[in-house]
Amino acid sequence: MGENERLYVEDAFKTNWVAPLGPNVDAFEKQLADRLNVKSVLSLSSGTAALHLALFILGVKHGDSVICQSFTFGASAFPIQYLGANPVFVDSEAETWNMDPVLLEKAIQEEVAKGKKPAAIIVVHLYGVPAKMDDILAIANRYQIPIVEDAAEALGSTYHNKPCGSLGTFGILSFNGNKIITTSGGGALASNENALIEKARNLSAQAREPVPYYLHKSVGFNYRLSNICAGIGRGQMEVLDERINRRRQVYDFYQKSLADVKGVSFPKEPAGVFCNRWLTTILLDAEIPEANERIRVELEKDQIETRALWKPLHQQPIFENAQSYTNGVSDDLYARGLCLPSGSNLTDETLERVVLKFKKIANEVLR
Ligand SMILES: *Cc1c(COP(=O)(O)O)cnc(C)c1O
Give me the CATH number covering residue 24: 3.40.640.10
pLDDT digits (tens, 9 = 90+) for 160-206: 999 999 999 999 999 999 999 999 999 999 999 999 999 999 999 99
**Ligand 1: nearest atom to the Cα of 72:** 13
Whether residues 244 and 234 fall in one domain: no
Whether residues 156 and 245 fall in one domain: no
Q: Please, which contacts does 110-113 make with residues 24 or more away whose CB atoms are closer than 8 Å?
A: 110/325, 111/65, 111/67, 111/323, 112/143
**Model pTM?**
0.97
Whether residues 206 and 86 fall in one domain: yes
Q: Which of 46, 73, 181 to mutate to test the pocket of ligand 1 (most atoms within 8 A of CB)?
A: 73
pLDDT digits (tens, 9 = 90+) for 51-74: 999 999 999 999 999 999 999 999
Distance 361 CA to ligand 1 centre (A): 32
Whether residues 307 and 358 fall in one domain: yes
Domain enclosing residue 156, as ranges: 5-238
User: What CA–CA distance (Å, rounded) separates 31 from 35?
Assistant: 6
Whether residues 222 and 259 fall in one domain: no
Last residue of a domain, one of 238, 263, 287: 238
Cβ–Cβ < 8 Å for 327, 301: no
pLDDT digits (tens, 9 = 90+) for 202-257: 999 999 999 999 999 999 999 999 999 999 999 999 999 999 999 999 999 999 99
* Confidence (pLDDT) at 367: 78
* Confidence (pLDDT) at 145: 98
Q: Provide the number of structural domains found in the chain.
A: 2
Cβ–Cβ < 8 Å for 153, 125: yes
SS (H, E, C) the chain: CCCCHHHHHHHHHHCCCCCCCCHHHHHHHHHHHHHHCCCEEEEECCHHHHHHHHHHHCCCCCCCEEEEECCCCHHHCHHHHHCCCEEEEECECCCCCCECHHHHHHHHHHHHHCCCCCCEEEEECHHHCCCCHHHHHHHHHHHCCCEEEECCCCCCCEECCEECCCCCCEEEEECCCCCCCCCCCCEEEEECCHHHHHHHHHHHECCCCCCCCCCCCCCCCECECCHHHHHHHHHHHHCHHHHHHHHHHHHHHHHHHCCCCCCEECCCCCCCEECCCCCEEEEECCCCCCHHHHHHHHHHHCCCCCECCCCCHHHCHHHCCCEEECCCHHHHHHHHEEEECCCCCCCHHHHHHHHHHHHHHHHHHCC
Q: Which of 44, 45, 48 to mutate to test the pocket of ligand 1 (most atoms within 8 A of CB)?
A: 48
- The confidence band for 359, taking pLDDT boundaries of 50, 70 and 90, is very high
Distance 215 CA to ligand 1 centre (A): 32
Whether residues 123 and 189 fall in one domain: yes
Q: Which of 124, 150, 181, 281 to mutate to test the pocket of ligand 1 (most atoms within 8 A of CB)?
A: 150
Whether residues 234 and 253 fall in one domain: no
Whether residues 217 and 244 fall in one domain: no
Burial class (CB in 10 A: 0-12, 13-18, 19+), 310: buried
Last residue of a domain, one of 198, 213, 238: 238
**Ligand 1: nearest atom to the Cα of 124:** 13
Q: Is 45 in the pocket of ligand 1 (CB under 6 A)?
A: no
User: 320-346 as b/e, with b when 16 or more CB fall inside 10 Å?
Assistant: eebbbbbbebbbebbbbbbbbbbebeb
Whether residues 144 and 30 fall in one domain: yes
Whether residues 40 and 184 fall in one domain: yes
Average pLDDT of the residues of the chain:
97
Whether residues 246 and 336 fall in one domain: yes
Give me the CATH number covering residue 277: 3.90.1150.10
SS (H, E, C) 86-108: EEEEECECCCCCCECHHHHHHHH
Last residue of a domain, one of 186, 220, 238: 238
pLDDT over threshold 90, residue 366:
no
Whether residues 93 and 223 fall in one domain: yes
Listed in sequence order, the residues at least 6 apart from 144 whose beta carbon sits closer than 8 Å to its beta carbon are none
pLDDT digits (tens, 9 = 90+) for 294-345: 999 999 999 999 999 999 999 999 999 999 999 999 999 999 999 999 999 9
For a pLDDT cut of 70, what percent of the chain falls above it?
100
